[in-house]
Structure 1
Amino acid sequence: MNLPARIPETERPRERLASQGACALHDSELLALILRTGVPGANALELARALMLRYGGLRGALAAPLPELRQVHGMGTAKACSLAAVLELARRAHIEPLRSRDLMSHPDAVRSYCIAALGHLEIELCMALFLDQRLHLIECCELARGTLNQAAIYPREVVREALRHHAAALILAHNHPSGAAQPSAADLALTRQLKQALALVDVRLVDHLIVARDQAVSLAERGQL
């Protein structure tokens, strides 16, 4: 990993992980293992620390947009893709248990997944969890992404995706990068329009979750669906 010679071999991240386990490592050390190599003037550990400082911590570094990461000094395409792959693997591992559950009976699991997927984003993104007749997950898909405070969602496009996935129901989720999880008038209007559009093709809107950082508001639980 191009670590400086002054660090004893037993104190290097890879050796510490092998002897003490991953839990013993700091975030920057784990990130350095993913980056693998540094650049002239900075080893992998220093590069990892700089990346975390730039993006406000581990979560921000892993969630940074791929095109932006590629432009960071010392990163490049290979390192940026490695970080993106780690984040996607974590997302898939998180969602895997949902595929064998009745999601109506496990609202906390759905909420947890949506927070993990959307809570860290700096732009607004809308996604849908498409469900079968048993309310088991078929697929989770991104529907739209936008600016800091807006992502354009069109009911006809959601209906088309629901039909393409042969869904019997769906859960809509989007984030508020501002940090306020309260539904806006536009959120409520979209929910009504989408519910009506889906009903025309016998697809049920189970819930609409609004995510803001580490919290999620369920419109179904609030009686606003």
Structure 2
Amino acid sequence: MILVGHSDGGVAVAMDLASELLGINQYDIVKNVDRPNCIISDRYSATHFFENEYDFNENIALPVQFGVHHSNVKYLLYHFFKNKHGVSQSRYVDVIHPQTYFGPSSEQAGGILIEPMALVSSMCQLGFGITIKRSASVGHHAVLGDFVNINPGAVLSGFVNIGEGTEIGTGVSVSNNVTIGKRCLIGAGSVVTRDIPDGVIAYGNPCKVIRENERWKGIELEPDFK
């Protein structure tokens, strides 16, 4: 498997899930920034590459996943490797733990990673490159945009809409029919009872807008992501 980008946590989780679900124990970790290599378990064989050293066409048969979880980093990595190396959405595989409930009437766009004990209820629409972490719950008819990151124990009620690139913190509760905008960060433990606009950090009980989400500052956005 090819992992694009890397953080210690993102790579470790992706490797364990892919090994358990797909029987994969050998990984090519391809990075596009100069940073220290990841800590790798002795269970796996892994080689780190800079992107200009790696031939994606030569390794066309290998499935691809992200080696990171943060929404803004996944966004940057996806567009970098698509534009420079032609790595399209179709090459990214789903890694969904079997102890997840995924409603048969729900749909997803690919490249998602779901950890154990998560729940995706009925009639949900999940975008590309989403991460749903352990014990998180996504209610019926929810819509999650591309690159959304749902952290452990978060609970999204029915008819919730989460915009592209938004991160939902650990233990957050989102009430029915709430819309959270694009590129937001909702702080851990928040209770969201009202809509949240695009591009902000918000937290608290009740959840309130605090300031602009600077994680996305300076990132050139594709037209469909603005």
Q: One fold, TM greater than 0.5?
A: no
Q: Larger relative CO (CA 8 A, sep 6+): 1 or 2?
A: 1
**Structure-2-length-normalised TM-score:** 0.28
**Structure-1-length-normalised TM-score:** 0.28
Larger helix proportion, structure 1 or 2? Answer: 1
Query: Which of the two has higher C-alpha Rg?
Result: 1
Larger strand proportion, structure 1 or 2? Answer: 2
